[in-house]
Each structure stands twice: as C-alpha cells, then as structure tokens.
Amino acid sequence: MLAIMRSVFARTVEKGASLEDVAAHYQGRFDTIAPFLVEPAVGDRHGYDLETLISDELLRYPVRGEGNVKISGPSERLPHGIAQPIALALHELVTNAVKFGALETPCQGRLAIDWRRDKGDLVLRWRETGVPIVRSAPLPFGFGREFIEQGLPYQIGAETSFTIEPGGVVCLIRIPTVNRAATSTTEGVQP
C-alpha cells in the first residue's frame, strides 16, 4: 500500500502545475485510498459494496438537482484488492466530472453509472451526457485517465476504455472474474 501511495504522489507531482494543485489533487486521492490502509486488518472481510463506493465518492461534491445522477446495478461486493483501485478510478472520474463534465456547476449534464455481469465478468459503465465538450485536438492525458487506462489493467487485469465523444464521456471497466475471485479481501494490489 505504501508503494501505491508513493506512486500516486509521484504521478500527482509530475502532472501538477503548482504546489497548491499538487496538494489539492493528492489530498483527494489520499482521502479515497486512506480507508483501505486500515480496512484489511479491521474491515469487512466480505468486501466492499460497489454502490456504496460510488455513492461515497459522489457525496464529496454537491450534486445539482434530482435526476442528474443515476446509479443502478445489482448488489455487488468487491474484495479489498479490487475495491481500492476501483475507488481511486471512481474518484478520478468524479473529480473530472466536477471540473469539466456533467457535474460542473454551470453545466446541465447528466451522469449515469451502472454495472452488470457479462459472462461472469463485472462491467462498470460511467456515462456523462449533455456536456459541452468541444475539442479539435486530443485531450491531455492526466493522472486519472492514465490510471484508468493503464493502472487498472496492470493492477487488477481490467479491460478499460475511456472515450470522449460529442456531448460527453464514456468509461467502461471490465473486471475479469478470474482476477476478481483470485484476490482475497486481505491482499493488496500490485504497485
């Protein structure tokens, strides 16, 4: 876990523009990962509820009006070694949605987060719509997108895609059953 925190800090510093920027981004990432530092020893041995991970991350930010955010999926518990990187990915998605996307204050966008089982794998979909994204050049590759597209495949064997399309963003994360089942609630993830 310390190796993960060291890596998150190094990547945050590398991508940060100012000391204040680095401090704010690292604080958010640390706050997301911190509960997982103690939970393997004293936490729930039955895993982490996916809907609760999503809701807890969304609660950090004000959400405008009812109906702008929809969360749906069957009951799903994630073992520690899967829940920690998924929580960090969710943090990055929420942060980007608040800054640039469907949860940005002047925006009238919508966010739908859902998950399902497909051939035993867990498929999580994050979809923002109604976002005024106008880009002629590719978007910069920030820590969050890098973590989702490279870190999740490395740490938990997930297949991921992050697509910016007219009016929004779609992120798909497929967690293979074999890796999900093989990770116990007390194991950490690879750095």
DSSP 134-150: --SSPPP--HHHHIIII
| pLDDT tens readout for residues 67-121 | 689 999 999 999 988 998 999 899 889 988 888 888 886 667 899 999 999 999 9
| pLDDT tens readout for residues 147-161 | 899 989 998 999 999
CB 158 within 8 A of CB 88: no
Tokens of 116: 């399902």
Which pTM value belongs to this model?
0.74
User: Any residues with CB less than 8 A from the CB of 66 and at least 6 apart, and which?
Assistant: none
Three-class SS of residue 66? coil
Domains and CATH numbers, the chain: 2-182 (3.30.565.10)
Give residue 14's Cα distance to chain centre. Answer: 20
User: Any residues with CB less than 8 A from the CB of 30 and at least 6 apart, and which?
Assistant: 5, 8
